[in-house]
């Protein structure tokens, strides 16, 4: 029996994610070329992201049927079992026979013939019990955090943190949001062309919905915007709406001197370049040369040439002589606000890494503030929902920087308001401590944090 193209792609992508530490979205983008039929691309994506999101629950159910835990099996065998179990549990339109048989063929294709009978037997048992609630198999006496973590497929330490800070209702809402496919949102680079672009996408068979935050943005289902003429012509980019909102908080004006300190992969820089106009100057910096080259290619697609790309390590003193009116520090972080989009992060991240990230981010923010002109504005942002990387860090820096103040939520909301969709209350995007926050559960976007700071 031949293995379908969609399952081959999914299996190979998952193997690279696990063995090489690759990001699933990047590998899928490379694998799902124009030659892959949309139906195959859709199933491959569903299998990859579904297996990664639900890995803990799948392993819990599979471990019940085996003497050796899934984690200790050869990787190709573990992946075939997880793919099969995911299809049997979550994909009602996939026949059980196809899910089992093709998983068996995948281990044969990976030259693990001795495991074929194991995969067949385990998945047949899973298939016979696919409609049962996994809750009935939980061991007695486990903690509430452990129970929630298994059923919602997250690490226990992560759930414990969120329960302590958010409570059970909000935590479960967040976990549910992390286990749903995120909106595929697009940034429109010329707002006056929005209706024309949407019309062309709909004509191509895609379904388009208005943005949830920004009036110029929209989301797409039923196809890939990256395959459209609008994308090739630089009219749109694929970007989460919360991410799109971050550079708008800077309030860049024509003739401003702007620094995007951690610019790669370059999604936020175009908004800064356009706002600075022909008389402004934008410096986009990153520590990795290959990421700067990728940014240059991105800017070429967008028809942008007014940016100076600089390779630097932002944890060290910055090499610039002049100061900047506007600085964006979109700091590298844990990414816990993007677990729906990048589910593999939840299995890679360790609690101790939060402190390491925080120390690095604090150095970056301090260096950036040293290059901020008097009266200038700086936005510090992350796609994390962890206090160590967000409000705790900003407050610690402010204690050491008496000339820096947090811009009030009223003032920051006034900057953002012109870009927001009519149903969005601008002050509602800011918490009582004047920080900008979005939540996957509340806003259907990635979870972003931003502090808007000014030097007096």
Longest Cα pair distance anywhere in the chain, in angstroms?
A: 71
Domain-wise residue ranges, the chain: 5-137, 146-179, 185-238, 249-455
pLDDT band per the 50, 70, 90 thresholds, residue 1: low
How many angstroms separate the CA atoms of 229 and 345, rounded? 32
What pTM value is reported for the model?
0.95
pLDDT tens per residue, range 170-200: 999 999 999 999 999 999 998 888 999 999 9
* Residue 161 to residue 159: CA distance in whole angstroms: 5
Distance of alpha carbon 415 from alpha carbon 347, whole angstroms: 37
**Does the pLDDT of residue 355 top 90, yes or no?**
yes
The CATH number fitting domain 185-238, selected from 3.30.70.1170, 3.40.50.300, 1.25.50.10, 3.40.1280.10:
3.30.70.1170
Residues marked as catalytic = 383
List pLDDT tens digits, range 100-154. Answer: 999 999 999 999 999 999 999 999 999 999 889 999 999 999 999 999 999 999 9
| CATH assignment, 5-137 | 1.10.940.10
| Two tokens, residue 169 | 């209702």
Which CATH number among 3.90.1280.10, 3.40.50.1170, 3.40.190.10, 3.40.50.150 corresponds to the domain 249-455? Answer: 3.40.50.150
Distances from the Cα of 124 to the Cαs of 84, 85, 404, in angstroms? 10, 9, 63
Of residues 192 and 387, more confidence is placed in 387
**Predicted local distance difference test score (pLDDT) of residue 223:** 87
Cα angle 277, 278, 283 (rounded to 5 degrees) comes to: 75
């Amino acid at each position: 029996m031949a293995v379908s193209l969609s399952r081959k792609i999914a299996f190979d992508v998952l193997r690279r994610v696990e063995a090489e530490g690759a990001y699933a979205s990047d590998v899928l983008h490379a694998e799902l070329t124009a030659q892959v039929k949309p139906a195959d691309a859709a199933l491959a994506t569903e299998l990859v992201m579904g297996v990664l999101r639900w890995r803990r629950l799948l392993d819990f159910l599979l471990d019940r049927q085996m003497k050796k835990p899934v984690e200790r099996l050869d990787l190709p065998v573990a992946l075939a079992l997880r793919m099969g179990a995911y299809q049997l549990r979550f994909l009602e339109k996939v026949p059980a026979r196809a899910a089992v048989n093709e998983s068996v063929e995948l281990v044969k294709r990976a030259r693990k013939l001795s495991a074929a009978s194991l995969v067949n037997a385990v998945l047949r048992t899973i298939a016979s019990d696919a409609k049962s609630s996994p809750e009935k198999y939980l061991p007695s006496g486990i903690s509430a955090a452990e129970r929630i973590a298994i059923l919602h497929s997250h690490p226990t330490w992560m759930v414990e943190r969120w329960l302590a800070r958010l409570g059970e209702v909000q935590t479960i809402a967040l976990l549910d949001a992390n286990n749903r496919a995120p909106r595929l949102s697009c940034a429109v680079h010329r707002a006056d062309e929005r209706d024309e672009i949407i019309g062309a996408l709909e004509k191509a068979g895609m379904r388009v919905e208005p943005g949830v935050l920004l009036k110029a943005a929209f989301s797409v289902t039923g196809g890939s915007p990256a395959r459209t003429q609008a994308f090739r012509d630089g009219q749109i980019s694929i970007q989460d709406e919360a991410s799109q909102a971050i550079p708008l908080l800077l309030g860049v004006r024509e003739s401003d001197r702007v620094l995007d300190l951690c610019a790669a992969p370059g999604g936020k820089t175009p908004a800064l370049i356009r706002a600075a106009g022909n008389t402004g100057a934008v410096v986009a910096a990153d520590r990795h040369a290959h990421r700067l080259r990728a940014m240059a290619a991105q800017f070429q697609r967008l028809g942008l040439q007014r940016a100076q790309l600089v390779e630097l390590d932002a944890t060290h003193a910055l090499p610039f002589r002049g100061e900047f009116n506007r600085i964006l520090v979109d700091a590298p972080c844990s990414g816990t606000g993007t677990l729906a989009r990048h589910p593999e992060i939840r299995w890679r991240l360790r609690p101790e890494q939060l402190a390491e990230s925080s120390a690095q981010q604090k150095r970056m923010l301090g260096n950036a503030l040293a290059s901020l002109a008097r009266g200038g504005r700086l936005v510090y942002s992350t796609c994390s929902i962890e206090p160590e990387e967000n409000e705790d860090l900003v407050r610690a820096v402010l204690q050491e920087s008496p000339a820096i103040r947090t811009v009030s939520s009223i003032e920051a909301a006034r900057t953002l308001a012109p870009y927001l969709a009519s149903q969005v209350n601008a002050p509602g995007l800011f918490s009582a401590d004047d920080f900008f926050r979005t939540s996957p559960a509340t806003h259907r976007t990635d979870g972003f944090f931003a502090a808007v700071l000014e030097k007096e």
